[in-house]
Structure 1
């Protein structure tokens, strides 16, 4: 049994706890209090093996490092930190203390993502990828009323790229690695964060186009185009329906059953790694997390999106 504490209480922790009910070796043992003093007591607690951190992005690095230094494994919500410098420090701390640090990036741990990986060769040499995650935020209504909630506040290292763009970029890096060149555009909001954006990622033999938004909706699927056909994925962040449309007109369905809630698979991966004595996920690996954040840093530099955390490194 792995005793897990929760850092931060919001809708996503509710989803994780609901999913964790199906993970037999997961046991909730404590919930984090907001004060620094209580956090330090919490980190030193003997009733915890690990923590799940779901606080605002700006706090991920500081809190993860605190718990790692106190001997606790860490499952940290996406994005892993506010910038690549922080991610590097987090990884170094995890390695120094021989503990597991894992980014809670759910798409890459879903059974249907494995189906994507296992069947990608069928479309031949990949030439282009298009991925879109545009979801109008209910918090944007408050923003337009002059109320700036966390989702649109740069103090918390938030915005469209960090919240939604990362769901497109992380699987892309997992499949194809880090690109050699990046171009990016965005619509910046008066609060100082991006409301939406587009990224063009250039590889040696292919390119990828990523679109994301918190101020508009899109219903376009993800498409990976190869020389023999195209793989169509309904929603890359949940991957519920996948098929290949070959050049000859034939269609192959690749969808596999995902019987559990989406977050079940990341919880299962995390606690089973701990039980097995492993200190890194082969899927949500340190390389994938660092390279994705490095890509996001380059996007932010291009569009002029700066967070307070950037000045602390």
Structure 2
């Protein structure tokens, strides 16, 4: 893949580092708006990216780019992914994929019509330790509960409390805790069990209606799963899958899943199949393999999972009365 990257900041730097470690992928260009040109140039220099753009049309018309990674504010994912697909390029869209299921469905339709690859950049589903956990599900017997927690104090929360509204705490940009951080937990749960029978969400809301923390409950037949996410407080991250015969524990937030502890009866063992210190490497390895092998079936399978997650999050927001502009279109 010859990748053009949109955006700047920590996630873009981590992405560029990951791409540099994946055979068959190369970042060849970075696009930023003119006001962020200096940031884009500095990142390009740091990661040895040859070209920088501040004109989006020029960036999109670069014939050398076959895939575009979109790391823009949440509310812009749909608009720019659509432009990328219509320009005849593959799109990798940073999580959360879109604001609504309707937007997701349209992007999938266009990707299929244009025979282009479309991916959500979500680490959880591609991590070897999560794949290992799935293999042990049957061994822990009849399931009882699933608990997940990813809580990380946002550096922008103080600014928000002082009266400013950064994108991540702004409904206009499809921000909030469930979209930014708890979505990893929801991806984890849905990857294990598919779409739930019912979804509820109990958030802590700010005055502007955005959720700064919250608990989502995904109800399956005879199984309740909780997804806890907060951007206004800190906690150790984890995932527990409890069964009659034992437990499976991810000993970190699921977006990294740094190790898996398998406990069956009195026996316990720790598994770590992840060698890279950059957990984004695994998703870019997956994307590169699928594109190089022209494996549309796997791409569409992943998109089906993404759609399920978008639907769960949309149901959770509606349950809690969290409304985005995209809901009103």
Taking the aligned partners of 1:113 and 1:258, their CA distance within structure 2 comes to 14
Give the corresponding residue for 1:34: 33
Which secondary structure does the structure 1 equivalent of 2:2 belong to? strand
Which secondary structure does the structure 2 equivalent of 1:137 belong to? coil
Unpaired runs of 5+ residues, structure 2, are 35-53
- Residues 54 and 15 of structure 1: is their aligned pair in 2 closer, same or farther, counting only changes over 3 Å? same
Question: Could you tell me whether the CA contact under 8 Å between 1:133 and 1:168 is conserved in 2?
Answer: yes
Taking the aligned partners of 1:283 and 1:110, their CA distance within structure 2 comes to 19
Question: Could you tell me whether the CA contact under 8 Å between 1:100 and 1:278 is conserved in 2?
Answer: no
Q: C-alpha displacement at 1:120, in angstroms?
A: 1.8
When structure 1 is superposed on structure 2, of 96-105 and 273-282 the one drifting more is 273-282
Give the corresponding residue for 2:11: 12
Q: C-alpha displacement at 1:144, in angstroms?
A: 1.5
Does residue 22 of the first structure (1) align with residue 17 of the second (2)?
A: no
Give the corresponding residue for 2:60: 43
Give the corresponding residue for 2:261: 243
- The higher-RCO structure (CA 8 Å, 6+ apart) is 1
Question: Could you tell me whether the CA contact under 8 Å between 1:111 and 1:258 is conserved in 2?
Answer: no
- Give matches, 1:149-298, under 5 Å: 149-235=166-252, 236-246=254-264, 248-279=265-296, 281=298, 285-298=302-315
- Residues 283 and 213 of structure 1: is their aligned pair in 2 closer, same or farther, counting only changes over 3 Å? farther
Q: Which of 53, 61, 85 is residue 78 of structure 2 equivalent to?
A: 61
Q: C-alpha displacement at 1:169, in angstroms?
A: 0.1
Give the corresponding residue for 1:129: 146
Aligned-residue CA RMSD in angstroms? 1.8
Q: C-alpha displacement at 1:283, in angstroms?
A: 9.4
Taking the aligned partners of 2:18 and 2:139, their CA distance within structure 1 comes to 33
Q: C-alpha displacement at 1:220, in angstroms?
A: 4.9
Question: Could you tell me whether the CA contact under 8 Å between 2:118 and 2:299 is conserved in 1?
Answer: no
When structure 1 is superposed on structure 2, of 266-275 and 178-187 the one drifting more is 266-275
Q: TM-score, normalised by structure 2?
A: 0.90
Q: C-alpha displacement at 1:252, in angstroms?
A: 2.6
Q: C-alpha displacement at 1:257, in angstroms?
A: 3.5
Q: C-alpha displacement at 1:298, in angstroms?
A: 0.5
